[in-house]
Amino acid sequence: MEFSQYQNAALRTDQPTVPETDPVVVPMLGLLGEAGSIATAYKKQLRDGAAFRHAKHQLRQDLGDILWYVAVLADRFGLDLDDIAVASLVKAADRWKPTPAPLLFDEDYPEAEQLPRRAVFAFTPVTLPDGRGVITLHCDGQQVGDPLTDASRISDDYRLHDVFHLACACALGWSPVLRSLMHRKRKSDLRVDEAEDGGRAIAIEEGISALVFAYAARHDYLDGVTHLDNELLATIGSMVSHLEVSARRAADWEQTILVAFTAWRQLHATGGCGTLTFDLLTRTLEVATADLYMHFL
């Protein structure tokens, strides 16, 4: 049976409510009540075990009642049950199923305007004459960007945050920051250069980097963490909703962040000295400092 068929059939058994009563109230309360019934049935199953012979039948009946109330509530709100079911699966895939293949946003551009498909980056700690510690980043012997400090009154190794931009480039095929640092902006298309590789996109990526770093700092820099809060991923999604990287899923962002901080922790443990190799085509990141080989897929 299709969901739409079920919804239509359920509505034919709907009973009128007392006049002047909000038509949403009865099915809403019914839904809440049946959710409690399921909890009660499961509690009895845990308590009585085999003695509770009707557990499966009771759960089947209560779940059916929930489905009926959902169908009626959907109609009350002007929604179609088929559409709700499809949207639910899309949402679940976005959150829990990473994109199976890389999206090369720049594959139709000249090689000089493409993110490197494979590269090795060297992180090197340097002490300045004034005693400040900085991190320099090099690729093929060429310095990438300026030396970074923590830019903070406290030492928290934020100067290693370029690892986040490398993870974005590797896992998402997207990093306007890295494009700018490596002079690989897509200048052959002025609109793309402005909208996707320009100052606003760069600021957004740096903002996400700062947001994620603050989140990680509150959670032991994600050591032992396997999943991130939905609110964090939703915020990132809203920040990039007008950019090409919006084609990526929340699950892709989750893996990007987790692998980025795996690399960050390894570099942090060595005082910021080490090399990272990424392969954009296979979406893999290798951290030489710990002989660690991380897969994004």
Number of domains present in the structure of the chain: 2
Residues 70 and 129 in one domain: no
Q: How confident is the model at residue 297 (pLDDT cuts 50, 70, 90)?
A: very low
Q: Looking at residue 296, what is its pLDDT?
A: 37
140 within some domain:
yes
Mean pLDDT of 218-233: 97
Please say whether the beta carbons of 171 and 283 come within 8 A.
yes
| Contacts of residue 151, Cβ cutoff 8 Å, sequence gap at least 6 | 158, 159
Query: What is the model's pTM?
Result: 0.86
Choosing from 96, 123, 138, the residue where a domain stops is 96
101 within some domain:
no
Sign of the alpha-carbon torsion through 189, 190, 191, 192: positive
Q: List the one residue out of 79, 78, 62, 65 whose CA is nearest residue 27.
A: 65
Q: List the one residue out of 217, 229, 204 whose CA is nearest residue 158.
A: 217
Mean pLDDT score across all residues of the chain: 92
Tell me the backbone φ, ψ of residue 277, rounded to 5 degrees: -115, 125
Choosing from 96, 124, 144, the residue where a domain stops is 96
Name the token pair of 33: 């009540």
Residues 89 and 152 in one domain: no
Residues 22 and 123 in one domain: no
Name the token pair of 168: 């974005």
pLDDT (tens digit, 9 = 90+) per residue, 71-128?
A: 999 999 999 999 999 999 999 999 999 998 878 999 999 999 999 999 999 999 998 8
Residue 249 sits in which domain range?
Answer: 111-295
Residues 51 and 177 in one domain: no
What phi-psi label fits residue 20: left (phi over 0), alpha (psi between -120 and 50 degrees) or beta? left
Residues 218 and 72 in one domain: no
Q: For the domain that residue 55 is a member of, what is the CATH number?
A: 1.10.287.1080
- In the predicted model, is pLDDT for residue 293 greater than 60? no
Choosing from 62, 96, 130, the residue where a domain stops is 96
* Higher per-residue confidence, 258 vs 287: 258
199 within some domain:
yes
Residues 280 and 141 in one domain: yes
Residues 76 and 214 in one domain: no
Q: How confident is the model at residue 16 (pLDDT cuts 50, 70, 90)?
A: confident
Q: Looking at residue 294, what is its pLDDT?
A: 40
41 within some domain:
yes
249 within some domain:
yes
102 within some domain:
no
Residues 159 and 191 in one domain: yes
Residues 133 and 276 in one domain: yes
Please say whether the beta carbons of 135 and 160 come within 8 A.
yes
Region of poorest pLDDT, from 47-61, 127-141, 236-250? 47-61
Region of poorest pLDDT, from 56-70, 188-202, 218-232? 56-70
> From CA 192, how far away is CA 19, in angstroms rounded?
58
Q: Looking at residue 80, what is its pLDDT?
A: 95
- Compute and round to an integer the Cα radius of gyration of the chain: 26
Residues 155 and 84 in one domain: no
Residues 37 and 119 in one domain: no
DSSP string, 27-80: HHHHHHHHHHHHHHHHHHHHHHGGG-TTHHHHHHHHHHHHHHHHHHHHHHTT--
105 within some domain:
no
Secondary structure class of 101 (helix, strand, coil): coil
Q: Looking at residue 34, what is its pLDDT?
A: 93
> From CA 97, how far away is CA 51, in angstroms rounded?
40
Tell me the backbone φ, ψ of residue 106, rounded to 5 degrees: -115, 20
- In the predicted model, is pLDDT for residue 291 greater than 70? no
Query: What separation in angstroms does the CA of 15 have from each of 11, 22, 122, 144?
Result: 9, 13, 70, 69
Sign of the alpha-carbon torsion through 242, 244, 249, 250: negative
* Higher per-residue confidence, 290 vs 121: 121
167 within some domain:
yes
Residues 177 and 250 in one domain: yes
